[in-house]
């Protein structure tokens, strides 16, 4: 475990993070990806892995389940596989 020496996980400013993100995105030649899109993708993947709503909310920090559902794009094939397993 990494010792916590600062109250923030990454003790950098928002501007520093934004600039680093833009540099990485530009270096990769990607023009239409926002940092927030990564959260969206992660939440969708957690649901596809079979995690429950409370589990995903705990990880993502969503306090309102309605907001959490805006991020979900369930794969119908995965849902069907779960249905078949019953």
What local confidence, expressed as pLDDT, does residue 8 receive?
Answer: 74
Residues 6+ apart with CB under 8 A from 5: none
- Per-domain boundaries in the chain: 34-85
What local confidence, expressed as pLDDT, does residue 11 receive?
Answer: 79
User: Which residues of the chain fall below pLDDT 70?
Assistant: 1-2, 4, 73-74
What local confidence, expressed as pLDDT, does residue 30 receive?
Answer: 93
Q: Which is nearest to 42 in space by CA: 22, 63, 61?
A: 61
What local confidence, expressed as pLDDT, does residue 7 receive?
Answer: 77
Burial class (CB in 10 A: 0-12, 13-18, 19+), 51: middle
What local confidence, expressed as pLDDT, does residue 76 receive?
Answer: 80
What local confidence, expressed as pLDDT, does residue 44 receive?
Answer: 85
What local confidence, expressed as pLDDT, does residue 48 receive?
Answer: 80
Decide if 39 contacts 71 (C-beta within 8 A). Answer: yes
- The whole-angstrom separation of Cα 72 and Cα 64 is 14
């Amino acid at each position: 475990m990494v010792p916590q020496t600062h109250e923030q996980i990454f003790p950098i400013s928002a501007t520093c993070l934004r600039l680093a993100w833009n540099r990485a995105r530009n270096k990769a030649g990607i023009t239409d990806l926002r940092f927030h899109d990564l959260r969206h993708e992660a939440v969708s993947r957690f649901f596809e892995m079979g995690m429950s709503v409370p589990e995903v909310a705990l990880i993502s920090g969503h306090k309102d389940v309605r907001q959490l559902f805006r991020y979900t794009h369930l794969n119908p094939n995965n849902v069907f596989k779960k249905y078949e397993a019953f």
